[in-house]
Amino acid sequence: AVDAGVSCARFSRFAAKHGWSGGEFLAGVPGTMGGALAMNAGAFGSETWTLVEEVELVDRAGSFENRPAGSFAVSYRQVDIPPAHWFTAGVFRLSQGRGDEGTNVRSLLEKRSETQPIRQSSAGSVFRNPPNDYAARLIEISGLKGLRIGGAQVSMQHANFIVNDRQACAKDIETLIEKVQTAVADHTGIRLEPEVRFVGEHQ
């Protein structure tokens, strides 16, 4: 069982250190296990909810309840959480490892740093991958790598990342997201949907 406030990196490393396999992909996901449950965080072909057996939730009145994983509708980066409920913990089923879990964690982290702009400010992947395709591929073939609005730029390293390299404001980033969406739809006929969540109104 893992508290929702534990970081994904800590969970992943703890499991690997104790010879449990299955959580390696979470090592490079910035955030908490609560966030990973809420977003069904995933990477390298694995997803959080494939590991979940049971979760503990709290509601606004402070009542706790446990629910089995099967009682949630879960899909790609999407979990239907009952209104005004939050995850406080989860029970995860990992498998007995073969002793190479630590090495696997390190190689996934290396792969991430080779392919993603992890040293620059970003919100991670901007768009959801459409079925049987990759948002990054569609953005790249639409000629949008490096496109800039104000302080925000479509990453030269990974086209599904928008980096804030020159003090971008929220408006720069949202405008760039809309521009990429329109240009990709014009070029490929596919409308990309944001994976990031927008909070508040920009100025």
Q: Which is nearer to ligand FAD, 63 or 96 (CB)?
A: 63
Q: How far is the CB of 48 from ligand FAD (least distance, A)?
A: 8
Q: Which is nearer to ligand FAD, 34 or 97 (CB)?
A: 34
Instruction: Assess whether 178 carries a catalytic annotation.
Output: no
Q: Which is nearer to ligand FAD, 23 or 124 (CB)?
A: 124
Q: How far is the CB of 96 from ligand FAD (least distance, A)?
A: 25
- 24, 101, 174, 195: the catalytic one is 195
CB-CB neighbours of 119 under 10 Å: 9
Distance CA 55, CA 81 (A): 11
Q: Which is nearer to ligand FAD, 71 or 182 (CB)?
A: 71
Q: How far is the CB of 113 from ligand FAD (least distance, A)?
A: 11
Strand duo 78-79 + 122-125: pairing: unpaired
Instruction: Assess whether 125 carries a catalytic annotation.
Output: yes
Instruction: Assess whether 107 carries a catalytic annotation.
Output: no
In this structure, are residues 98 and 60 in contact, taking their beta carbons and an 8 Å threshold? no
- 67, 77, 112, 137: the catalytic one is 77
For the range 117-123, what are the long-range contacts, defined as Cβ-Cβ under 8 Å and sequence gap of 24 or more? 117/155, 117/157, 117/158, 117/161, 117/163, 118/28, 120/155, 120/163, 120/164, 120/165, 121/163, 121/164, 121/165, 122/155, 122/161, 122/162, 122/163, 122/164, 123/162, 123/173, 123/196
Q: How far is the CB of 120 from ligand FAD (least distance, A)?
A: 9
> What residues make contact with ligand FAD under the rule CB under 6 A?
4, 29-32, 34-36, 38-39, 41-43, 81, 86-87, 118, 122-124, 197
Active site members: 77, 125, 195
